[in-house]
Structure 1
Amino acid sequence: MSATSTNPSDPVSGQRASTAADASRDHATDERSRRAFLRRVTALAALGGALFGYDTGVVSGALPFMRPDLALTALDEGLITSLLLVGAAVGALAGGRAADRYGRRRAMSVAGLVFVVGALAVAGAPNVPLMVAARFVLGLAVGAASVAVPTYLAELAPAADRGRLVSLNSLMIVAGQLLAYVVNAALTPTGNWRLMLGLAAVPAVGLVVGCVFLPETPRWLFGHGMRREAFAVLRRTRSEREARRELQRAERTARRAGRQQEGGGWSELLRTPWLRRTVFIGVGIAVVQQATGTNTIIYFTPTILEGTGLSTSVSVVSTIAVGVVSVLAVWLGIGLVDRFGRRQLLVTGLVGGGVCMLALAFVIGRAGESTTTSFVTLGLMVLFLGFQQSTVAPVCWLLISEIFPSRIKGFAGGATTMALWMSNFAVSLAFLPLLEAVGGRWTFLCFVATAAACLVFTLRFVPETRGRSLEEVEETLRAAARS
């Protein structure tokens, strides 16, 4: 018998085997505990995404009932819808700076408080000026959450799980939109638009309370000199060896940067070429998400279907199908982001979505008004959203949360997300006038052209980040700027 084999009758060998078995059980228990903790934290943080989705989706069903109560004009309706997007652009920049200065967790908590105030204000607004102001305030919360939540999840998650966990925020966004559509349908018989809008305060309170129990991210803690606290948070989501390795990598990256991470702003971007290039890439990614026309389909499905001859009531009900497909597609995307490369998914989504838009241009341009045309159009729009929501949308939010260094992640992410919201505003504002001026065929052909331009941008500039730590991503972008 080999000298190293285990003899059951030998007390020393038996003790060694028992110790190994205990260590294995302890490791499995620790791993389950870490996974459970990560799931709880992610679920609480992702409430911000659900609020984002609900507040952007609920207004479409509330407007028809607001119209007689507040004597809305077409301009009023446009302002009520679009001021949230303008507020989101402002909130993204302000929320990003707050996340860098005061912490990701505190930024989410403040966004939750503003959600509560904004939801109650829109539900109780007695006239148009106060409604417009309240929607702007609500937009501030949407913008701040759209920066703080993905940043928080990206900095807390291990590299192997980062894509899946950050993409959960995208799932919660579309789930919030679907919930808004269902609430609108349920409350339509009562016409209670104030309740439709005010219900957003309930999950907002949950976000505020939940933030009390969330830890700050290890990157923010380390960047503000709290090394011991950063290691403690890392140990709750990683093994001790992984936590030490990640902390050491963060220290090397900080030394290479020339100073500890203290936060930055426009001055640092202007004097640092690789940061300027990274922000350029981030803004381009934000525009990619909006320029392909995703939100025009989400916002204007009833209008597009009415143009094919479908009745108003059936067109409105069709938005539920759009919401369901969006949720299923993002759910699929969560399983893809850590299995395939980010660039590969972007290319697939842009090509698939572009083909769908080309088919829409053909159908709407050639066919007359008929039930067949309506349902073929709906099918193509749903297929388009399937491509977009399973690839382009979650990958864009994920990349924005990954590519910036921790010391300016909030600020740079806020500036990029502001560009996203302003692109959303511009595309949404231009869609209906363009549809009226040149018709559906040329409008959708414009989206085909923008998808082609976005594909070129992706192939030329977008980095691959799958499986890399945030410090490795930073080092890759530094090297790319020098080459």
Structure 2
Amino acid sequence: MSPTVVIPAPSSRPGQKAFRAGLITACAGLLVGLDTGLIAEALGFIGTDFHASTRDQEWIVSVLMLGASVGSLGAGTFSARFGRRLVLTAAMVLMFLGAGLCANAMGIAQILVGRLLIGIAIGVCTFTAPLYISETMSGHQRGSMVSTFSMLQSAGILAGYLLGGLLSSGGHWRWMVSMPMLPTALLFAGCFFLPASPSWLIARGEDTKARTVLRALRDTPAEADEEFTCIKNEAAKGRISGLKLLRQQPGFRRSVMLGICLQVMQQLTGINVVMYYTPKILQNAHFGTSGAAWATVLIGVINTIVGIAAIFMVNRWGRRSLLCTSAAIMACSLAVAAGITGLHLSGGIATLCLLGALLSFVGGFGLGAGPLVWTLCSEIQPLEGRDFGVGCSTLANWWADWIVSNTFLSIVSIIGFGQTFAGFALMNVIFIVFTLTFVPETKDVPLETIEANLLSGKKLRNIGE
């Protein structure tokens, strides 16, 4: 054990340094969203230039999820070995290379390779960024900052829609897919200013560095020392692999399964169907190409506004109530969309009602299911198995996303938009039941308390007490 050392408190306000670190990390969400918005606008032009079939277009969208599943699967091992900062930095390099390949593509195969690299980078980011934030933020900041990560995804989607809308008149899809390169380079530089995760440092036996980092991030030395002691006590219980902990600890098996189910349910809400295929949905409802592009921008605006509101609501309302409210709004919205498209209603009023239903759906997702699933998945895992547990849930998210995105157009061609939307509406009703039955309230609860309750055998819905 490292000797106790006296470390002077930093002269600058510690809370500001923690906020800056969290904000830089949360900006990874901006890149995730930017790609989503840009590919939604670029997909039609790519299909036209390369004569892509429906299946080709599904693969152009969904190959990213396969890459993301690979990235999230390896992120746990690499972030545990090399640290959260270095892994985030490497992800920026992959994203830059992938965007460059897509921008200079000579065929569909090159686009698929580029989007696979982007997907790997995104998988790493969606695993590492919420994990890093949860380990560096204090309890009262944690929910808001992870929600900021989600909100910036929404802002990125809006930026992608806007840029795509501006470039769509000329069909400049190569400019669209090259847009992530600049923010990627900026975030690459920002990664060098991040402090190391205190939990990761303690796990490596670097106690002095961990205490220094905590003193720099927390409001008072006493708060930093108390948190250091808690993390140290957890780490002192012995470090074992995630798989071994999974076999030995029933509580960990339950938290891993809860994280997986939360991420699968998030994708079964239908959010990425709307985000990736909104232009096609609206064109089917007799919007023109330009009208569909700018209506898609409006969806991005709502997604961003609600994402900002969620940052302030998450620590007031709590996790469970926001999740239930979110799923209820989405279920009702998709039921309306199912009725309009299933009955083949036409005319200006029906078209505006469909757009309103999509806007309401996206707003409902951004209110709770978007930010809170990522927050909960990083909160419910014990320290020893946190990398493994978050990795499993992130991997589940991308696999579910791939299945939904890779089959949506094909399913619609068989059963139509109406029944497809009705199926997603039912999934949101199931999400409400699942939340009430299993999801704990973790607002303002220290991670160490959640872990102690979990491993003591409390029911999942009670581990935040």
Fold agreement, TM-score > 0.5:
yes
Distance 1:482 1:166 in 2: 25
| Partner residue in 1 for 2:290 | 313
Aligned counterpart, 1:128: 108
CA distance in 2, matches of 1:275, 1:72: 45
Give, as a single letter, the amino acid of the residue that structure 2 aligns with 1:80.
I
**Corresponding residue of 1:373:** 350
Give, in angstroms, the shift of residue 331 of structure 1.
0.5
Kindly state the Cα deviation for residue 366 of structure 1 after the two structures are TM-superposed: 4.0
Tell me which residue corresponds to 2:179: 199
* From 233, 247, 254, the counterpart of 2:235: 254
Amino acid at match of 1:302: P
1:119 equivalent in alignment to 2:106: no
- How far has the Cα of 1:151 moved from its partner? 0.7
AA at the equivalent of 1:424: D
Deviation for aligned residue 1:34: 2.1
Q: Structure 1 residues 295-304 or 114-123, which shifts more?
A: 295-304
Partner Cα separation in structure 1 for residue 230 and residue 407 of structure 2 = 46
Match of 1:410 in 2: 387
The CA distance in 1 between the partners of 2:266 and 2:150, in whole Å, is 12
Match of 1:439 in 2: 416
Query: 2:319 — aligned with what?
Result: 342
Structure-2 residue corresponding to 1:61: 41
Deviation at 1:412, TM superposition (A): 2.0
Distance change (3 Å), C-alpha of 1:365 and 1:61: closer
Q: Look up the match of 2:88.
A: 108
Cα distance, 1:482 vs. partner? 7.8
8 Å CA contact 1:49, 1:146 repeated in 2: yes
Greater shift, 299-308 or 87-96, is seen at: 299-308
Deviations 1:66-124 (A, max 9, x none): 23443433332222111011111111111122112211111111111111111111112
User: In the superposition, relative to structure 1, how do residues 44 and 116 fare at CA in structure 2: closer, same or farther (>3 Å)?
Assistant: same
Distance 1:206 1:47 in 2: 10
Please show how residues 72-471 of structure 1 align to structure 2 within 5 Å.
72-238=52-218, 239-255=220-236, 258-259=237-238, 261=239, 264-366=241-343, 368-471=345-448
Structure whose CA Rg is larger: 1
- Looking at structure 1, the residues matched to 422 and 59 of structure 2 have their Cα atoms a distance apart, in angstroms, of 28
Q: How does 1:36-47 map to 2 (within 5 A)?
A: 36-47=16-27
Letter of the structure 1 residue corresponding to residue 161 of structure 2? Y
State the partner residue of 1:8. Answer: none
Identity %: 32
Letter of the 1:249 counterpart: C
Instruction: Please list every run of 5 or more consecutive structure 2 residues that lacks an aligned counterpart in the other structure.
Output: 1-8, 461-465
SS at match of 2:315: coil
How much does 1:286 deviate?
0.2
> Quick one: structure 1 residues 312 and 221, their matched pair in 2 at CA, closer, same or farther if it must change by over 3 Å?
same
**How much is the aligned-residue C-alpha RMSD, in angstroms?**
2.0
Q: TM-score, normalised by structure 1?
A: 0.89
The amino acid across from 1:186 in the alignment is: L
- Report the Cα offset of residue 402 of structure 1: 1.3
Cα deviation, residue 161, structure 1: 0.9
Paired residues in the alignment total 451
- Asked if the contact 2:249/2:455 (under 8 Å) is kept, the reply is no
Return the alpha-carbon distance in structure 2 between the equivalents of residues 407 and 460 of structure 1: 26
2:3 alignment partner in structure 1: none
Secondary structure, in 3 states, of the residue corresponding to 1:406? coil
Taking structure 2 as the reference length, the TM-score comes to 0.92
Once the two structures are TM-superposed, the CA of residue 459 in structure 1 deviates from its matched residue by 1.5
Distance 2:272 2:310 in 1: 18
CA distance in 2, matches of 1:363, 1:77: 26
Partners of 1:481 and 1:56 lie apart in 2 by: 39
Letter in 1 for 2:324: V
Alpha-carbon contact 1:155-1:217 (below 8 Å) kept: yes
Distance in 2 between residues matched to 1:233 and 1:464, nearest whole Å:
29
Query: Is the contact made by 1:364 and 1:373 (CA closer than 8 Å) also made in structure 2?
Result: no
Amino acid across the alignment from 2:29:
G
* C-alpha displacement of 1:47: 2.4
